[in-house]
Amino acid sequence: MTQSAPKSPIVETSRFPTGPLPPRAGAGLKTEHVDAILADEHRIGFLEVHAENYMGGGGPAHRALAAIRREFPLSVHGVGLSIGSEGGIDPVHLERLAGVVERYEPAMVSEHLAWSSHDAGYFNDLLPVPYNAQTLDRVVAHVSQIQDRLKRPILLENPSTYVAFEQSTMSETDFIRDIARKSGCGLLLDVNNVFVSATNHGWKPMHYLRDFPLELVEEIHLAGHAEDVDDEGDLLLIDAHDRPVADAVWKLFEIVISQAGALPTLIEWDNDVPEWPVLRREALLADAILDRLGPASLLGSRHAAE
Amino acid sequence: MPRNETVTGNRQRDFGAALLNPELPLPQGIVGPHGKNAVKRFAVYRNNVTVSLIDALAGIFPAIQRLVGESFFRDMARLYLAKEPPRSPVIFEYGGGFAAFLERFEPLARYPYLPDVARLERAWLDAFHAADADPLHPGSLGAIPPEHLAGTTFTAHPATRIVRSGFAAVSIFSASREDRALEGIKPGDAEDGLIIRPSDAVEVRRLPAGAAEFFTALIAGASLGEAAGETIARHPGFDLPSAISAMLEAGVFSGCSFGAANSEETA
């Protein structure tokens, strides 16, 4: 008896290619770059979008992202869940995020260690939380709630901050490690944020990286920062995402990769967005470092075997 | 109330209030490292919030910004966002109250058409992000038995919006978006606007007299006969056949049904 083709229409288990983010450089997706990315001979490793930009029902934005998703691995990066919020996770917004995740089946979903919403409204910025037991419990509960709804682990990103809290009783690295341990989430290490926060708070970036649980990191962010001064006239760095990655941040990135191995690495450029080739150039710089330092890393090529 | 709750429950409320109002002191417990001050440090957050929301409003209301000038727009947007910060992290939905704010904004009282231009811009972005649907095929009405035509009802395409104005809001909107001068436009001429997304692009069209009422009635669920009757009663010269062919060509509707069978015609 010969096997015949199924008569019913083919049931697709997935509308898009599956698989993890590759341990290569990716870029934050900007609408104006979509055509150039699709036409580019250099195939960027992956693309990342802000989930909130795709929470509408349909239209050209979704059409463009679907075209990208058919050809590239995708990471969905939320900016609005307000995980550090005293008021709890907004269930309506969590449903919106779940909708985007179901629609695009991304390889990765990530959010921030920050808050952005209160009864008064949504502030459109990533605001800091004090590091203590009370905040820890709250953040762990919120991350768990999100992961339960999405039915998958998320990555939590370390913040860039400008102020500290008298109420903090823990270091940022201890705080983040405990969140990951208690909630089971992975970590997104934003190396520019490490440099910005270290400068702003007088830490040594190398000490931060030494204390950070690199074994839990599944994605890296790199971006440019701006320089300002604080109340005393000392250097204050602003996480501006409006220029190339700084040399000092590239150096830190090399150290991270030589220890952790090659990891999916995103170039973020959200303001004063340049032409695509400028972003691609940054991505190629990251790829060169991943190729050069990833294979010989201390933690081995745990992510490189895809 | 336990002390703990008093302190922690209000911390983000105080932080948020101080973000939107620079007159307020720094929230309690906010410091710089090693005993440093944090006024300029906290100002980074104030600036991030304000500038990013002004930028968002400028992106949603580009025609208004061009009409009033960038510097005026940014000052005005700062006042608006302090009064009505976004309610949701979906920033492309922000600014629903901006037209009403403009109506009450004294310095612009001489430009009474601006609120309706803002309504068109808000509707444009709603249409841009609206769900996808195939427009009703222009031939679908022809497939309906003539005796059922009057009883036929329609389903609006998710992107369809109608903005009625006592001013030349559509002409002014279009001129501003296309960076043209307003010469030749009489601001006092009433215009109705139809916002549609028949394919990938949002379009804003001026409707002939009566068409806005006709479409609005159909969108609300009135039958073709009811909507036509009401419109012709108010606008005796209303050109019904043109309005019907225009609505089919423009993709105002995505479905229609008629009679007891209530069959849906969507292709």
Residue B167 lies in a domain: yes
Residue span of the structural domain in which B7 resides:
1-94
What's the structural domain count of chain B?
A: 2
Residue B4's CB: how many other CB atoms inside 10 A?
9
pLDDT-derived band of residue B134, with 50, 70 and 90 as boundaries? Answer: very high
pLDDT-derived band of residue A296, with 50, 70 and 90 as boundaries? Answer: confident
Residue A298 lies in a domain: no
d(CA B16, CA A84): 13
d(CA A280, CA B27): 42
Which residue in the set B12, B42, B132 is minimally distant from A58, CB to CB?
B132
pLDDT surpassing 90 at residue A173: yes
Contacts of A35 in chain B (CB under 8 A): none
pLDDT-derived band of residue B9, with 50, 70 and 90 as boundaries? Answer: low
Question: Residues B117, B192: one domain?
Answer: yes
Residue B106 lies in a domain: no
Residue A259 lies in a domain: yes
Question: Residues B120, B90: one domain?
Answer: no
Q: Would you say the C-alpha torsion B212, B214, B218, B221 has a positive or negative sign?
A: positive
pLDDT-derived band of residue B197, with 50, 70 and 90 as boundaries? Answer: very high
pLDDT-derived band of residue B10, with 50, 70 and 90 as boundaries? Answer: confident
Residue A9 lies in a domain: no
Tokens of B53: 């929301």
Query: How high is the pLDDT of residue A7?
Result: 45
Question: Residues B90, B116: one domain?
Answer: no
Which residue type sits at B120? L
Question: Residues B83, B117: one domain?
Answer: no
Residue A12 lies in a domain: no
Question: Residues B30, B70: one domain?
Answer: yes
Query: How high is the pLDDT of residue A119?
Result: 83
The strand pair at B203-207 and B191-196 is best described as: antiparallel
What's the structural domain count of chain A?
A: 1
Q: Span B216-229, mean pLDDT?
A: 97
Query: How high is the pLDDT of residue A201?
Result: 97
The strand pair at A155-157 and A186-190 is best described as: parallel
Average pLDDT, chain A: 93
Question: Residues B80, B133: one domain?
Answer: no
Q: Do B29 and A130 touch (CB under 8 A)?
A: yes
Q: Do B16 and A123 touch (CB under 8 A)?
A: yes
CATH number of the domain where residue A151 is located: 3.20.20.150
Q: Span B28-53, mean pLDDT?
A: 94
Q: Span A241-262, mean pLDDT?
A: 97
Question: Residues B253, B172: one domain?
Answer: yes
Residue A37 lies in a domain: yes
Q: Please report the beta strands in A128-238, taking only residues with DSSP state E, as ranges in sequence order.
A: 155-157, 164-165, 186-190, 217-223, 226-229, 235-238
Q: Span B175-190, mean pLDDT?
A: 96
Q: Span B51-73, mean pLDDT?
A: 98
pLDDT surpassing 70 at residue A299: no
pLDDT surpassing 60 at residue B182: yes
Residue B158 lies in a domain: yes
d(CA A114, CA A157): 9
Residue B230 lies in a domain: yes
pLDDT-derived band of residue A172, with 50, 70 and 90 as boundaries? Answer: very high
pLDDT surpassing 70 at residue B267: no
Residue A11 lies in a domain: no
Tokens of A52: 């909130």
pLDDT-derived band of residue B261, with 50, 70 and 90 as boundaries? Answer: very low
Element (H, E) at B54: helix B39-60
Residue A66 touches chain B, beta carbons under 8 Å: no
pLDDT surpassing 90 at residue B264: no
Q: Residues 101..130 of B with a Cβ closer than 8 Å to A: which?
A: 127-130
Tens digits of residue pLDDT in A7-22? 444 455 678 989 999 9
Residue A155 lies in a domain: yes
d(CA A161, CA A238): 9
Contacts of B89 in chain A (CB under 8 A): 52, 79-82, 93, 116-117, 122, 124
Residue B82 touches chain A, beta carbons under 8 Å: no
Question: Residues B25, B157: one domain?
Answer: no
Residue A119 touches chain B, beta carbons under 8 Å: yes
Question: Which ipTM score applies to this complex?
Answer: 0.91
Query: How high is the pLDDT of residue A120?
Result: 80
Contacts of A59 in chain B (CB under 8 A): 127-130, 132, 159, 197, 200
pLDDT surpassing 90 at residue A152: yes
Residue A16 lies in a domain: no
Residue B107 lies in a domain: no
- Helix A276-293 vs helix A247-260: crossing angle, to nearest 10: 40
% of chain A residues with pLDDT over 90? 89
Question: Residues B256, B162: one domain?
Answer: yes
Residue B248 lies in a domain: yes
Tens digits of residue pLDDT in A190-211? 999 999 999 999 999 999 999 9
Asked whether A51 and B87 are in contact (CB, 8 A), the reply is no
3-state SS string over A12-68? CCCCCCCCCCCCCEEEECCHHHHHHHHHCCCCCCCEEEEHHHHCCCCCHHHHHHHHH
Query: How high is the pLDDT of residue B35?
Result: 84
* Residue of A95, A115, A125, A172 best to disrupt the B interface, most CBs of B under 10 A: A125
Question: Residues B232, B128: one domain?
Answer: yes
Q: Span B113-136, mean pLDDT?
A: 97
Query: How high is the pLDDT of residue A165?
Result: 96
Residue B101 lies in a domain: no
Domain boundary among B94, B122, B150: B94
Query: How high is the pLDDT of residue B200?
Result: 87
Tens digits of residue pLDDT in A93-127? 999 999 999 999 999 999 999 999 998 899 999 99
Question: Residues B86, B130: one domain?
Answer: no
Residue span of the structural domain in which A130 resides:
25-293
Q: Do B89 and A162 touch (CB under 8 A)?
A: no
Question: Residues B89, B122: one domain?
Answer: no
Q: Which residues pair with B256 in a beta bridge?
A: B154, B265
